[in-house]
Amino acid sequence: MRSSAMKDGVEKAPHRSLWKALGFLDEEINRPIIGVANSFNEIVPGHRHLKEIAQAVKEGIRMAGGIPVEFPTIAVCDGLAMNHKGMKYSLASRELIADSVEIMAEAHPFDALVLIPSCDKVVPGMLMAAARLDLPTIIVSGGPMLAGRFQGEAVSLTTVFEAVGRVKAGRMTEEELTCLENTACPTCGSCSGMFTANSMNCLTEALGISLPGNGTIPAVYSERIRLAKLAGMKIMELWEKGITARQIMTEAALRNALTVDMALGCSTNTALHLPAIAHELGLQLDLKLFNEISQVTPHLCQLSPAGKHHIEDLWKAGGIQAVMRELSRKGLINLDLPTVTGKTVRENLAQVEVVDYEVIRPLENPYHEDGGIAVLYGSLAPCGAVVKQSAVAPEMLKYTGRARVFDSEEEAVDAILAGRIKAGDVVVIRYEGPKGGPGMREMLTPTSAIAGMGLDKEVALLTDGRFSGATRGASIGHISPEAMEGGPIALVKEGDLIEIDIPNKRLDLKVSEEELAARRRVWKQPEPKITHGYLNRYAELVTSANTGAILKERK
């Protein structure tokens, strides 16, 4: 056992005395020690109930003969951090989460791990740790929130963000907004659309590192507790068989995850997190692979914010396993890969059926022939930019407009809410990338304001920052190189023509090479926005968005 390093032999008598200080019996100390990383806190709605999930996991571990040892990690609520300094810390927290799990698992050599995330950066952070440590590992999340109801319609957090724009545009009263905010988020759990948290939780199933149902069973369903107990039992089986995270999360498994990503229309943030996970696995996941897989993978699920369905609807329709079963009919899923169930993907899918073909479209009748995400290249994004093409209105797929340039999110939001953005504009928000932000803030507030004001079919938004999975419309992020590194986005001027061509994967600044060269000669890198603390260190180490915004490693 790996844990023997901290408990076996005469020389480990001091160590055993510390175990006994914790109340452990010799009979317990002699069993496999399973680390349970719990990201519970009292500020994130998706994490408020994770004590109950962790308790169920620990019961499962004990039932199967192991000894669970729980420890915490941090978790940021992106919704509460949105549109202020706090959002600079969200993506940056991913690295701390991965590091903290590594530290705990190496300082106290656990035999295996069960990782309990729920929200945006916690899921990829824990997956990065799993890849780095290569122990027997299972992910079991807290599950999605149920959708709310307002004026007879299903609603979610993104509805409230967009409602702010409607109020500013005189399309909704403040009294109606209050009623909406009281009903939009009715339960604990990760916000109920195909936003980043649910995207990543769904992709854990496609990677094979979580049990079927992990991505879609609602947080408040008792089935979520049963899943957690089963995860606790299954981790002991993985330990006994010596099945580790890297045996599950292979290059082929990443391709399965990308395929499911495209079929679901997941958050553009997956284009940050999957490459970062691949890096921890010793693999390189180039953004061009997103386009390659998108071009052969139909978009089967139109989930909020792009459509009317929510994660609970996907669960009732058969969940991620049903999506994979449908994709397998076209040979798009590698069925021979191992999973944490102890079975192959093929065996997991053998008895699976699509229950509702309105929620999960058949291959013969997809929402779109191409997948949900596109990576654009061109003179404005030489190293790539990312768009959730499944959430873009048809009239915005090819679009040329005049640049309205802002050097921060706050400046752009002020202009949008003041009515200074008009049809035909392209809002450019720069110096919000991984280095420039620092932290690559999500732009849900400006995109939601544009949508709420009814401009999402007439105005595009471009940024070297990123977007929440709750974003819809012609919102193009991750523009690389970012402005802080002197990328072309730093050279855009007010009134420049910008051409967007999503079908042909192009994003171009319609300015001559000579003019750009002249602008580059006078461009100077601005002073860092943050000059102390963690974000200052993060900005020094973080790499470009097109590489997953990973941290530089010592050579």
Active site residues: 468
How far is it, in rounded angstroms, from Cα 86 to Cα 90?
Answer: 7
Give Cα 417 to chain centroid, integer Å.
28
Tokens standing for residue 367? 């929402």
Half-sphere exposure of 502 (CA within 13 A, CB side): 26
Distances 462 to 53, 406, 459 between C-alpha atoms, Å: 39, 10, 10
On whether the CB atoms of residues 446 and 475 are closer than 8 A, the answer is no
Say which amino acid occupies 117: P
On whether the CB atoms of residues 24 and 67 are closer than 8 A, the answer is yes
How far is it, in rounded angstroms, from Cα 67 to Cα 35?
Answer: 9
SS3 216: coil
On whether the CB atoms of residues 111 and 34 are closer than 8 A, the answer is yes
Q: For strand 112-116 and strand 67-72, is the pairing parallel, antiparallel, or unpaired?
A: unpaired
How far is it, in rounded angstroms, from Cα 422 to Cα 433?
Answer: 25
How far is it, in rounded angstroms, from Cα 103 to Cα 105?
Answer: 6
Name the packing angle between helices 90-107 and 533-541 (round to 10°): 90
On whether the CB atoms of residues 157 and 119 are closer than 8 A, the answer is no
Picking from 471, 197, 87, the residue whose alpha carbon sits closest to that of residue 461 is 471
On whether the CB atoms of residues 433 and 549 are closer than 8 A, the answer is no
- The number of residues making up the chain comes to 555
Strands, E assignment, 317-397: 374-378, 381-387
On whether the CB atoms of residues 276 and 548 are closer than 8 A, the answer is yes
